[in-house]
Amino acid sequence: MAGGYDDRDGVIWLDGELVQWRDANVHLLTHAMHYASSVFEGERAYNGKIFKSREHSERLLFSGRELDIPIPYSVDEIEEAKYAVLKANNLSDAYVRALCWRGSGDDMGVASAKNPVRMAIATWEWGAYYGDAKMKGAKLDISRWKRPSPETIPCFAKAAGLYMICTMAKHEAEAKGCSDAMMYDYRGYVAEATGANIFFVKDGVVHTPKPDCFLNGLTRQTVIQMLKDKQIEVQERHIMPEELHDFEQCWLTGTAAEVTPVGQIGDFTFEVGDMARTIAEDYEKLVRA
């Protein structure tokens, strides 16, 4: 599949029906376009099976509840739809995007309770998120934007509005020749990258930020369990910026990122070492098992 994302062959599941890709459109006055009233999931299928599929569908419904977007489909219905789209597009290794939003209706101010909740599922082929970084390690900028306090926004939902500062941070990073940016949280602790969680290694112990103001990713949870199964100590804790120079290895985790080693964050450098490579390889085996 090639071309802009609005101009491709294939089908998209839209409000219960499979429609032609180019016909999967919404009105200009869709509430989500103006007020970010939407939630989504990013998933990957390997050999025809979506990894952690039900967990993603369950989280989608959770995110909808957090943002007062009552999604009119059950987990089982969402699961059926995702696999129908994969089959219709003849894809076995693919990215899967499930999206729910407040559509156009009687409301066009901040409130949107009168507007219908709509849903779409699209799938497409998508390779390595950071290109060749899995071999040499990604280069990250340090963003000036911070993850917000839980008192300001439903930060544990996977909501579109939470990603605007991520987009700005990534644009600034790419302009500096970096693949991504690492973000601090509102207190100044190390938080995550723009679309991936982060891990560090020091003296054989793995350290990862405590997810108390950002998304506790499904890939993050998977990798933590993999490490514990290997009897590797994992410390989930607040990490101060000055600790970065002490860490030996670093990697990112996420559905899109999978497990990607990091070679540099700002002026701090890291070895693409055995633990990072092993976890990346073991994760690849797990998702294709």
| Domain end marker among 82, 102, 124 | 124
**Measuring CA to CA, which residue among 18, 6, 4, 87 is closest to residue 49?**
87
Spatial separation of the C-alpha atoms in residues 54 and 75, rounded to whole Å: 7
What does the pLDDT average to over 22-47? 97
Number of domains in the chain: 2
Contact predicate 246/202, CB 8 Å: yes
- The residue among 200 and 135 whose pLDDT is bigger is 200
What does the pLDDT average to over 213-221? 98
- The tokens for 146 are 């911070």
Q: Which of 52, 82, 139, 158 is catalytic?
A: 158
Read off the pLDDT of residues 93-147 as tens digits, 9 standing for 90 and up: 999 999 999 999 999 999 999 999 999 999 999 888 887 777 789 999 999 999 9
State the pairing for strand pair 258-265/138-147.
Answer: parallel
- Say yes or no: 81 and 165 in one domain: no
What does the pLDDT average to over 252-277? 96
Q: What pTM was computed for the model?
A: 0.95
Q: What contacts 278, CB < 8 A, 6 or more positions away?
A: none
| Domain end marker among 124, 150, 180 | 124
Read off the pLDDT of residues 276-288 as tens digits, 9 standing for 90 and up: 999 999 999 999 9
**DSSP string of the chain?**
--S-TTS-SSEEEETTEEEEGGG----TT-HHHHH--EEEEEEEEETTEETTHHHHHHHHHHHHHHTT----S-HHHHHHHHHHHHHHTT-SSEEEEEEEEE-SSS--SS--TTSPEEEEEEEE----TTTTHHHH-EEEEEEEEEEPPTTTS-TTS-BGGGGHHHHHHHHHHHHTT-SEEEEEETTS-EEEESSSEEEEEETTEEEEE--SSS---HHHHHHHHHHHHTT--EEEE---GGGGGG-SEEEEEETTTEEEEEEEETTEE----HHHHHHHHHHHHHHT-
Read off the pLDDT of residues 171-186 as tens digits, 9 standing for 90 and up: 999 999 999 999 999 9
Tell me, yes or no, if 158 is annotated catalytic: yes
Q: Is residue 180 part of a domain?
A: yes
Read off the pLDDT of residues 35-77 as tens digits, 9 standing for 90 and up: 999 999 999 999 999 999 999 999 999 999 999 999 999 999 9
- Say yes or no: 23 and 156 in one domain: no
Percent of the chain with pLDDT over 70: 99
Give the range of the structural domain holding residue 143, as residue numbers without chain letter. Answer: 133-287
The domain spanning residue 226 has which CATH number? 3.20.10.10
- Say yes or no: 153 and 102 in one domain: no
Go through 256-265 and write b for each residue having 16 or more CB atoms within 10 A of its CB, e for each that does not. Answer: bbbbbbbbbb
| Rounded (10°) angle between helices 218-229 and 274-287 | 110
| Domain end marker among 124, 143, 171 | 124
| Amino acid occupying residue 267 | D
Edge-to-edge strands of the sheet including 49-50? 17-20, 11-14, 117-124, 94-102, 38-46, 49-50
What does the pLDDT average to over 31-36? 97
pLDDT at 1 over 90: no
- Say yes or no: 138 and 105 in one domain: no
Q: Hey, how many other C-beta atoms are within 10 angstroms of the C-beta on 212?
A: 15
